[in-house]
A and B are shown apart, each in its own frame.
Chain A
Amino acid sequence: DAKTTQPTSMDCAEGRAANLPCNHSTISGNEYVYWYRQIHSQGPQYIIHGLKNNETNEMASLIITEDRKSSTLILPHATLRDTAVYYCIVVYSGAGSYQLTFGKGTKLSVIP
């Protein structure tokens, strides 16, 4: 089971920031938050991950609340090519961790 809760779908206007929330209220101290996306039935694509601190890379930013019970993935300037299903995944950081458990994700539609 995914251990995360995400809205089923969201819309975002092209050029605006897309903010995708994720609840992971049962996350433990040694679990990371990962984000992947899947564009129209292609293979999933890694976006970003974090433990406690906010993270930023060339694709997105990840904001994790201080209590770590929720996070938000931010695509700063959404384009039509960002239309995809976005998966928030909690992953144990210790040895033996390699299974990615994908839930239903959030279907993001970027609208022209």
Chain B
Amino acid sequence: NAGVMQNPRHLVRRRGQEARLRCSPMKGHSHVYWYRQLPEEGLKFMVYLQKENIIDESGMPKERFSAEFPKEGPSILRIQQVVRGDSAAYFCASSPQHLSSYNEQFFGPGTRLTVL
């Protein structure tokens, strides 16, 4: 059973360009979470999605950031008009269900975004 897959692993963008980060959850998992990790910091929650629904986007910046998890295909985190401060590692995690009793999330290898 393949783990959570993310691509690209590394992404370089110039200021003002768009960045698209993709995440394929583990087989059988219908819940996806995106986290951002700035250098020397812990991971920060961004958004939680189920198929075709955004459940909680309280950690997403108000502008330029959006996420989706379509019925078919991977989850996408989209950053428009990137700025240098968007440079970070972006991790996706998945879980088999929205568990009320524990939070064992399976993380992907991350996408390292560098904005020049």
User: Which residues in A have some Cβ–Cβ distance to B below 8 Å?
Assistant: 2, 32, 34, 41-46, 49, 87, 91, 93-105
Contact = CB atoms under 8 A, between A and B. Distances in A.
Interface in B6-54: 31, 33, 35, 41-45, 48
Contacts of A43: 4, 91, 93, 107-110
B42 A105 contact: yes
Chain B, interface SS category: loop
A46 B104 contact: yes
A93 B100 contact: yes
Interface residues of B, number: 29
Contacts of A98: 31, 33, 48, 56, 95, 98-99, 103, 105
Contacts of B76: none
Contacts of A45: 107
B1 interface: no
B45 A94 contact: no
Contacts of B31: 98
A104 B110 contact: no
> Which of A32, A46, A97, A98: most chain B Cβ within 10 A?
A98
B97 to A, nearest CB: 10
A44 B107 contact: yes
A52 to B, nearest CB: 14
Nearest to B102: A49
